[in-house]
């Protein structure tokens, strides 16, 4: 992550400005569409990154794109704010952080689940049920695969990592051996 503090602040500010779930879904979708446009449209990306293009011209180009896209006011304001502060490159990371912050505001615990292979639907349901039982509240799980774990899985909630992977166990054994 380029600047986790800034990413979190922008995501928190946006989450605080959203009034309900439908608005959260709409703004998230629009930001993802804009992020996709930035990543696939090479000329636009180069223009926005160029120090030879005036900030006013960049803003006008983005405003025209936003007007044609029909994005909501909140989406447009965030994109223009990021452009104004030369932080448009943080948009992808803000999008990644936004669901966890939105869920946190609603009282839902968020976990990142990493496993060697994708978990089966039954495994996902059991894991979610067990975490909801332990947390005493609803949970949101974001899944990803990490072949480096060798076996098992890891859970991350905020800054706390619960490692139930073979890689984690081997690292603990190595640490014990090195300590003597």
Name the average pLDDT for the chain: 84
| pTM, to two decimals | 0.69
Highest mean pLDDT among 47-51, 56-60, 105-109: 56-60
> What per-residue confidence (pLDDT) applies to 19?
87
pLDDT tens digits along 126-177: 988 988 898 888 888 888 888 776 677 778 887 777 776 666 656 677 777 7
Q: What is the mean pLDDT of residues 29-48?
A: 87
Strand partners, 139: 109
At residue 83, the pLDDT reads 87
CATH class label, 4-102: mainly alpha
Residue ranges per structural domain of the chain: 4-102, 108-179
Which positions ≥6 away from 155 have C-beta within 8 Å?
Answer: 111, 112, 113, 114, 131, 161, 162, 164
What is the pLDDT at residue 32? 93
Return the pLDDT at 167: 65
Average pLDDT over residues 30-51: 86
Summarised one tens digit per residue, pLDDT across range 88-105 is 888 889 998 888 888 888
């Amino acid at each position: 992550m380029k600047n986790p503090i800034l990413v979190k602040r922008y995501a928190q500010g946006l989450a605080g400005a959203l009034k309900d779930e439908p608005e959260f879904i709409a703004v998230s979708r629009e930001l993802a569409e804009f992020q996709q446009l930035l990543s696939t449209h090479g000329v636009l990306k180069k223009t926005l990154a160029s120090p030879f293009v005036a900030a006013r011209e960049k803003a006008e180009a983005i405003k025209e794109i936003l007007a044609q896209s029909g994005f909501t006011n909140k989406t447009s304001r965030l994109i223009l704010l990021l452009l104004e502060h030369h932080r448009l490159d943080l948009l992808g990371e803000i999008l990644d952080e936004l669901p966890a912050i939105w869920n946190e505001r609603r009282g839902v615990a968020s976990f990142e689940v990493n496993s060697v292979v994708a978990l089966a639907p039954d495994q996902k349901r059991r894991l979610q049920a067990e975490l909801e039982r332990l947390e005493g509240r609803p949970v949101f799980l974001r899944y990803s695969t990490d072949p480096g774990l060798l076996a098992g899985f890891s859970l991350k909630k905020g800054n706390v990592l619960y490692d139930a992977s073979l890689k984690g166990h081997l690292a603990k054994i190595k640490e014990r051996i090195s300590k003597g």
